[in-house]
A and B are shown apart, each in its own frame.
Chain A
Amino acid sequence: MPTLSDSFLTALGLIVSGDADLIEIVALSLRVSLTAVLLAALIGLPLGAVLAVVRFPGRGLLIVVVNALMGLPPVVVGLVVYLTFSASGPLGVLEFLYTPAAMIVAQTVLVTPIIAALARSTLADLLGEYDETLRVLGANRFDVVATLLWDGRFSLATALLAGLGRALAEVGAVMLVGGNIDHVTRVMTTAIALETSRGALPLALGLGIVLLLITLVLNAVVLGVRNRMEAHAHA
């Protein structure tokens, strides 16, 4: 039985030497989560903007629902997406289950409410401040939304980064719909879970370290964005 420090050293070795399995897993994680965040942004940003700017019946309820969905447990999302794509499910014919496509869909479902809710609150605050000024200057509703998106771009970027962090860190959804199949759907979090349970600590630790580093970089980027906001008098 290797000691913890042996495992740690082996893990570092895997990272430094660019172990093929490790790189494949990290690459798939990034591909799945970045794609999911991109899709979630395409849905969540317009949704957040509409919820912030347009008044329509049921808007309050929809805001409550979107905010509640922010805290959705990943396994529940995984379960719903699993049922949707299972052979007898409504979208079973797509045969997405146990492919990265299903994982992307699951993480998109997970992240969209986060981006929509954060975007809505950012844009609603900004609208409260800008609304009269923009209207006096002759802005129509489209101009208002465009102005809010541009002037809120730093906060919106941090919302996307928060979504990416959540997608990269979740296990439950990708595990259920991806199945953690070696070389097919194995990502960092599912690999860590499996390797740890198998006692293969070096790969688990190596992936853990990479995940931690990615999280650190994400947070550094968020900080950098905030500093840029300051520099642009965006606070």
Chain B
Amino acid sequence: MPDPTPRVIPFQPPRPADPPALRIEGLCLSRSGAALLNGVEMTLSPGGVTALLGPNGAGKSLLLRVIAGLIAPDAGRVIVPRAMQGRIGLVLQRPVLLRRSVAANLRHALALARVPRRHRAPRVGELLALGNLEALADRPARRLSGGEQQRLAIIRALAANPLLLMLDEPTAHLDPQATHAIEALVARVTEGGTKVILVTHDTGQVQRLADEVAFLHQGRCHEIAGKSAFLTHPESAAARAYLTGKLLL
């Protein structure tokens, strides 16, 4: 709400205000001489699903790791809205489940998120219902099928109610039904107000789920645009080439 009474505000040097959305500025990361992230610039829309597209090796997974704070960039920064800080969930491209039961994986995530003990059991029940995994609660997590493991990894990332959820190719290798289950889960999560960043190679999935698309190529964000604008009239040459399967690596 803007303040209705006009006031004279003395000059202040611009200070980084709390941004409404995630901003990434000049992010660079090299390993053994190779520039893996090469000045990534982007401002994401505050809500909904941002699909992160780009060819293999573009730096998508690395970008998610930097945003999650797992890797410190060599230069540049990730500006996270204050409310989002400490409330970021990430499901890795190859999720790692603990050597415990399905329910114990969720309990452990809640414990790490410092959820008080008495709240954990009911929350585990909610999460299992959300992931449609109630029947598998006591099974060893690492014995689940690929799709079940993905669902568990997602609800585990949701345990602490993140305001930003990043999913790295959550439906690669999944059959249409499992893909549908995960897409439905993502839709529910965004309805709850959580921002989602989704890495995918599936333009159908972009069509179904995304609100905006960011296109990453050779460690640089070439374009960020609304979904339909991106899919119908990509502005960057690289994105055009990528969408028509003609991108030269």
| B-binding residues in A (CB < 8 A) | 129-130, 132-139, 143, 147, 151, 232-234
- B96 within 8 A of partner (CB): yes
Interface string of B93-106 (1 = CB under 8 A from A): 00110111000000
Q: Is A232 in contact with B114, judged by CB distance below 8 angstroms?
A: no
Q: Is B112 in contact with A137, judged by CB distance below 8 angstroms?
A: yes
Q: Is A147 in contact with B108, judged by CB distance below 8 angstroms?
A: yes
Which residue, of A133, A136, A143, A233, has the highest number of chain B Cβ atoms within 10 A? A136
Known: A132-B70, A233-B140, A234-B99. A138 touches B90 (CB 8 A): no
Which residues of chain A are within 8 angstroms of B143 by Cβ–Cβ distance?
A: 233
Interface string of B76-119 (1 = CB under 8 A from A): 00000000001011101001101110000000110011100000
**Closest A residue, CB atoms, query B156:** A137
Q: Is A136 in contact with B99, judged by CB distance below 8 angstroms?
A: no
- B65 within 8 A of partner (CB): yes
Determine the distance from Cα of A150 to Cα of B24 in the docked complex, in whole angstroms. 38
Q: Is B112 in contact with A232, judged by CB distance below 8 angstroms?
A: no
Determine the distance from Cα of A165 to Cα of B70 in the docked complex, in whole angstroms. 41
Query: Which of A132, A151, A234 sits near B92, CB closer than 8 Å?
Result: A132
**Closest A residue, CB atoms, query B140:** A233
Which residues of chain A are within 8 angstroms of B182 by Cβ–Cβ distance?
A: none
Q: Is A137 in contact with B99, judged by CB distance below 8 angstroms?
A: no
- B141 within 8 A of partner (CB): yes
Q: Is B113 in contact with A137, judged by CB distance below 8 angstroms?
A: yes
Query: Which of B65, B113, B141 sits near A132, CB closer than 8 Å?
Result: B65
**Closest A residue, CB atoms, query B144:** A233
Q: Is A135 in contact with B70, judged by CB distance below 8 angstroms?
A: yes
- B160 within 8 A of partner (CB): yes
Which residues of chain B are within 8 angstroms of A233 by Cβ–Cβ distance?
A: 99, 140-143
Q: Is A139 in contact with B141, judged by CB distance below 8 angstroms?
A: no
Interface string of B225-238 (1 = CB under 8 A from A): 00000000000000
Q: Is B112 in contact with A151, judged by CB distance below 8 angstroms?
A: no
The 3 A-B residue pairs whose C-beta atoms are closest, nearest first, are A233-B140, A133-B96, A233-B142
Q: Is A138 in contact with B114, judged by CB distance below 8 angstroms?
A: yes
Q: Is A138 in contact with B92, judged by CB distance below 8 angstroms?
A: no
Which residues of chain B are within 8 angstroms of A143 by Cβ–Cβ distance?
A: 112
Determine the distance from Cα of A232 to Cα of B113 in the docked complex, in whole angstroms. 25
Q: Is A232 in contact with B70, judged by CB distance below 8 angstroms?
A: no
Q: Is B92 in contact with A133, judged by CB distance below 8 angstroms?
A: yes
Q: Is A134 in contact with B112, judged by CB distance below 8 angstroms?
A: yes
Q: Is A136 in contact with B108, judged by CB distance below 8 angstroms?
A: no
- B196 within 8 A of partner (CB): no
Q: How far is the CB of A153 from chain B (nearest CB, A)?
A: 9
